Copies of this chain bind each other. A is one copy, B any other.
Amino acid sequence: MKITKFGGSSLANAKQIKKVFAIVKADPDRKVVVVSAPGKRFSADTKITDNLIKLAEQVRDGQDTDHLLAAIEERYMDIIAELGLDQTIKVQIEENLKKMVASSYSSYDQLLNTFKASGEDNNAQLVAAYFNQNGLPSKYISPEKAGLYVSAQNGHTHVLPEAYTNLEKLCHVQERIIFPGFFGISKEKHRVTFSRGGSDITGAILAKGLKADLYENFTDVDAIFAANPQIVAQPQKINHLTYQEMRELSYAGFSVLHHEALRPAIMANVPIRVKNTNKPELSGTLISKTRATNDYHITGIASSRGFMSISIAKYLMNEEIGFVAKALKIMSEHGLSVEHVPTGIDEISLILRADQFKSAADEESLLQELQQRLQADKVYHEKELALLMIVGEGMVSTVGTAAKAMTALAAAGINLKMIDQGSSEISMLFGIDAADEKRAITSLYETFFKANK
């Protein structure tokens, strides 16, 4: 049994929904279909979810909502008309929206969550109607009905353990299940949206709860690529990734999927396949716990801009017990998250995301505070850094990977500000000038992927 999730661009209009229908119908194992809200039809288009957020603000501020509500309704009505659906679903969605705006909510947060959730919820009802009308018996099932219970704490939404027990019962449904993504319900029966990853997380939760054999994630790319296609022209597709490789790559800028959103599926050891709704014949990328080795030694090259380093020099630092701890404590007192701590002999660097500082003055005063409280000899910073990462389970067994990467970077004249390889041994991290990013990635790609062909 497969959980099959479709992203917003796969459900943006009638033409796309017809593709989705064909995909689901083609495989009887595609028992559970998770749908997103209709996405953008063209790049300047507005996502329905963004309009729903605006609508919530208008209601909160007592503004006139007629115009925006009509625009939202029109998106569904256009699709309904194009798909030639009967009046029932039209009336149903109109009523859903009317009721949503007219209801009273105990807080703005509750209102906002309900409005946002409606994007997926109405779309699931629409998709179920289309499937049924075209001879594929389908059933819209809401998180309320399925008992997908969550709790929201500190801005993060967590699934409650009982939700998995409840979801398991969906196995007995005979029809295809059409399930709205992006939200669950609280014990008080209020809708609560997920903090990130949109509908991906709903699919992952269902994959775990229903003990699926595969979690298919349909989106608008052919596969996950070995390098950013905006930097490398037509990069190699990755056929097979491990969960851990996926995690490391998504840290450093691979944005196809949020690793965190997939976590329930990963925890339950359900393989994930990324596929393209527009080219379902392609095999896409499989993500699973282990994989056979490939020819490339490394699996992917990622990079992420927006980092900076703060370096602290102090003579005989290594003999001062707790020095690094003290430095990091000062950072955390300011709510700053430090991601890497390369150390020399009398010097450490703190690598962090630069957008954590509100102003240059904040930065300057932190440098001074570090200098004073640590009695450091010197404190200085370097901005505009990019973190470059090569990832691959094969790295451990191939002693020369680091050497090969370094040689490629040296050939491209890249100055390495930082090198960090910890104990995980499936990835290696380099700090470079952001200005060198493109050259560095190109050089690594040529070395690891082109040379082997």
Closest Cβ–Cβ distance, residue A416 to chain B (whole Å): 6
* Chain A residues close to B by CB (< 8 Å): 247-248, 251, 260, 263, 309, 311, 313, 315-316, 318-322, 324-325, 328-329, 331-332, 335-349, 382, 399-400, 402-407, 409-411, 413-425, 427-429
27 pairs across A/B with beta carbons < 8 Å? A248-B344, A251-B345, A260-B316, A321-B336, A322-B332, A322-B337, A324-B328, A325-B329, A325-B331, A325-B338, A340-B343, A341-B341, A342-B421, A344-B421, A344-B422, A345-B427, A347-B424, A399-B413, A400-B410, A402-B416, A403-B409, A406-B406, A417-B423, A417-B425, A418-B423, A419-B421, A420-B420
Q: Is the CB of A421 within 8 A of B427?
A: no
Closest Cβ–Cβ distance, residue A245 to chain B (whole Å): 11
Q: Is the CB of B419 within 8 A of A420?
A: yes
Inter-chain contacts of A320 with B (CB < 8 A): 337
A403 to B411, CA, bound (A): 9
Inter-chain contacts of A336 with B (CB < 8 A): 321
Closest Cβ–Cβ distance, residue A395 to chain B (whole Å): 10
**Most chain B Cβ neighbours within 10 Å, of A251, A319, A344, A411:** A344
- Which residue of chain B has the shortest Cβ distance to A325 in the bound complex? B328
Inter-chain contacts of A251 with B (CB < 8 A): 318, 345
- Which residue of chain B has the shortest Cβ distance to A312 in the bound complex? B423
**Most chain B Cβ neighbours within 10 Å, of A329, A382, A410:** A410
A322 to B337, CA, bound (A): 6
A410 to B407, CA, bound (A): 12
Inter-chain contacts of A344 with B (CB < 8 A): 248, 420-424, 427, 429
A407 to B407, CA, bound (A): 8
Which of B338, B382, B414, B423 contacts A342, CB < 8 Å?
B423
Q: Given A263-B315, A322-B328, list of 16 further CB < 8 A pairs?
A: A318-B337, A318-B339, A322-B331, A322-B337, A329-B329, A343-B422, A344-B421, A344-B423, A344-B427, A346-B424, A347-B424, A399-B415, A400-B410, A403-B407, A405-B406, A406-B406
Closest Cβ–Cβ distance, residue A158 to chain B (whole Å): 13
Q: Is the CB of B247 within 8 A of A346?
A: yes
Inter-chain contacts of A425 with B (CB < 8 A): 417
* Known contacts A328-B322, A343-B341, A427-B345; A399 and B418 CB within 8 A of each other: no
Closest Cβ–Cβ distance, residue A194 to chain B (whole Å): 15
Q: Is the CB of A406 within 8 A of B414?
A: no
* Known contacts A407-B407, A417-B423, A421-B416; A247 and B345 CB within 8 A of each other: yes
